[in-house]
Chain A
Amino acid sequence: MRPVRWTAGLLLLVAAPWIVTELVPNQQRYILHVLIFTALYGALALSYDLVVGHVGSLSLAHPAFFGIGAYGSALLGTEAGWPFALALPAGIALAALAALAVGVPMFRLTEHSFAMGTLGVALVTQIVATNWVDVTRGPLCVTGIPKPQVGALRIVTLPGFYWMALAAVALVALLYHALTTFRLGRAFHAVRDNEALAASAAVDPLKYRMLAFAIAAAVAGGVGALYVSYVGVLCPGELAVSLTVNLLVMIFLGGVGSLRGVLIGAAAFTALPELLRMAPTWRMVIYGLLLLVVVIRAPDGLDALLRRRVAASR
């Protein structure tokens, strides 16, 4: 039964552009746009959960790595004229290198201090992006970022971007599953649950934390590169702390440390504002309140509620 359901779900997702065109032809562009954002946010939230949910380090530096990947690939694409096939991996590599460089001092900190230190990384990255006008163009934004092109395949249409985003989130989900399930996953969880015990069993906490941190940053950089290739513009505001809040809402709403939960959270998060149709500031107030209520009342998220419901009905 399960493989059938899986295949049906996958087919449905792949065929979404046609289905949307058939069902709501006049809103097709808008719905596809929301779906693209959902997929990209899903991939970003999964990468963030690798650090927060699986090695238990509350990093607030994720917008920095997203931004380094985005700015890296955007500037290489516009200023240096690199093709997308080179600019994307370069963005990924830059983000991973930044994470390794920042991780060494940051992981000397624990708990609150780590969170504060990484928040500092995010703020400084945004300050640099705003003020290093010669390179990033500062508040004038990087514009005219080329559309993705690999060989003869050039992505320009909305369905094309949708499939690109879908492939990205599928790839990241596979990576997330592989990293958190097998031996490596057990090492991550050992470090998260009891650092001293893990260390005494020759599972080096620093090594595994750095690994998760760097991989998460690489994925965030990749998502950043894909994001700017879709939107075409990149401003320093994209690196704001509010991105971290969005990610926290997604993973806590859905369920920390759970693949399905994080994806549910990302989908609920991107669908919610579209349903509410509110001004951005009110949106942030509601997200903040939502985060507050969820983290206090239901820290396991929607996924745990769902699982309990299923278990109760059996």
Chain B
Amino acid sequence: MEDLFEQLIYGLTLGSMYAMVAAGLALMFGVVRLINFAHGEFFMLGAYAFWFAYRVLGLPYPVAGVAATLSMGLFGIAYQQTIIRVILHRSWHVQLIATLATSIVLTNLAMIVFGTQAKEVPTALASRILEIGGLRIAWHRLLVLAACPLVFVALWWFVHRTKPGKAMRAMSQNREACAVVGVDIERVALWTFALGTLLAGGAAALVTPLYNIFPDMGALLTLKAFAAVIVGGFGYVKGAVAAAFLIGITESLAAGYVSYAYKDAIAFVVMVLVLLLRPQGLFGRRLGI
């Protein structure tokens, strides 16, 4: 029984990480209609940024986490200004291949700079264990589980209550109409990419102390996050978040009770099953993010 409960906690932490990454991907797809194949690599870069701030510079955990997150936000702005701006109005073929090429460049640059050996960044909280009955949970997992809802409340507030957020929602519903009434499409794209990358960086800063980091961790993460975006109903952020938790829990239970080696294949199988049974996604197709 404790075992099942532990697996569920693992699944929820994994789900929190997938949800933050998938939310960024869903935002980008929902608002700009562009699939960012390099999104998993943004998480990877965020993890290395955190490693650098925490291990190399020796900053305390909260400072290092915020620094890594913010530096990823800046990276997102740079990415939008250099690559996305050029491909924003091109065909989806060009967009997809350009972002795929970016992901390959980032992965291999990371291999050159950081080496292929996995890195660990355990914090004090990650090694301190909370024991309730027979149940053992690292305090850091509880931190992740507590912080994740806060991140999503902040995201909800930004998208619904601020001007750039409202523009993002408007653009997700009708890009042409937005352009007609004078919404600056480029600017909304900039906000979207900054926000999406910030989410990936924040997820990395939160969960990196629990997992190993290595340069080619991005590809599988992009796939799982995209699986969540598809299962949740294409660019519908709440759907993607719910689906990400579903995938995280399924993966964790599969790793614990079925086969650890094949856990990464599970997200994909879930995605295919949903596509076959409900091609519109679990929650139906929605208008807007």
Question: Which residues in window 94-118 of B have CB below 8 A to A?
Answer: 94, 96-98, 100-102, 104-105, 107-109, 111-112
**B1 in the interface, Cβ–Cβ < 8 Å?**
no
**Contact between B220 and A123 (Cβ–Cβ < 8 Å)?**
yes
Taken together as a complex, chains A and B put the C-alpha atoms of A242 and B26 apart, in Å, by 25
**B226 in the interface, Cβ–Cβ < 8 Å?**
yes
- Please judge, given known A-B contacts A127-B262, A131-B262, whether A112 and B94 are in contact too, CB under 8 Å: no
Chain A interface size range? 35 or more
Tally chain B residues at the interface, Cβ within 8 Å.
40
B223 contacts which chain A residues (CB < 8 A)?
Answer: 116, 119-120, 123
Taken together as a complex, chains A and B put the C-alpha atoms of A275 and B117 apart, in Å, by 29
Stretch at the interface among A11-19, A142-150, A224-232, A278-286: A278-286
Taken together as a complex, chains A and B put the C-alpha atoms of A131 and B265 apart, in Å, by 11
Question: Which residues in window 193-240 of B have CB below 8 A to A?
Answer: 219-220, 223, 226-227, 230, 234
Taken together as a complex, chains A and B put the C-alpha atoms of A287 and B90 apart, in Å, by 21
**Contact between B264 and A105 (Cβ–Cβ < 8 Å)?**
no
B96 contacts which chain A residues (CB < 8 A)?
Answer: 58, 112, 115
Report B216 CB to chain A, min CB distance, Å: 9
Name the CB-closest residue of A to B87. A296
Question: Which residues in window 269-291 of A have CB below 8 A to B?
Answer: 281-282, 284-285, 287-289, 291
Name the CB-closest residue of B to A291. B101
**Contact between B264 and A248 (Cβ–Cβ < 8 Å)?**
no
**Contact between B265 and A248 (Cβ–Cβ < 8 Å)?**
no
- Please judge, given known A-B contacts A113-B230, A281-B111, whether A295 and B105 are in contact too, CB under 8 Å: no
- Please judge, given known A-B contacts A112-B35, A119-B223, whether A124 and B268 are in contact too, CB under 8 Å: yes
**B271 in the interface, Cβ–Cβ < 8 Å?**
yes
Known: A120-B271, A131-B262, A291-B97. 5 other contacts (CB 8 A): A58-B97, A116-B223, A123-B223, A252-B97, A295-B98
- 3 tightest Cβ-Cβ pairs between the two chains A and B: A288-B105, A288-B104, A131-B261
Q: Which residues of B contact A (CB under 8 A)?
A: 29, 35, 83, 86-87, 90, 92-94, 96-98, 100-102, 104-105, 107-109, 111-112, 219-220, 223, 226-227, 230, 234, 261-262, 264-265, 268-269, 271-272, 275-276, 279
Give 22 pairs: A residue, B residue, CB < 8 Å, sorted on A: A58-B96, A108-B279, A109-B275, A112-B35, A116-B226, A116-B230, A117-B271, A117-B275, A124-B268, A130-B261, A245-B100, A245-B101, A252-B97, A281-B112, A284-B104, A284-B105, A285-B112, A288-B104, A289-B105, A291-B97, A291-B100, A296-B90
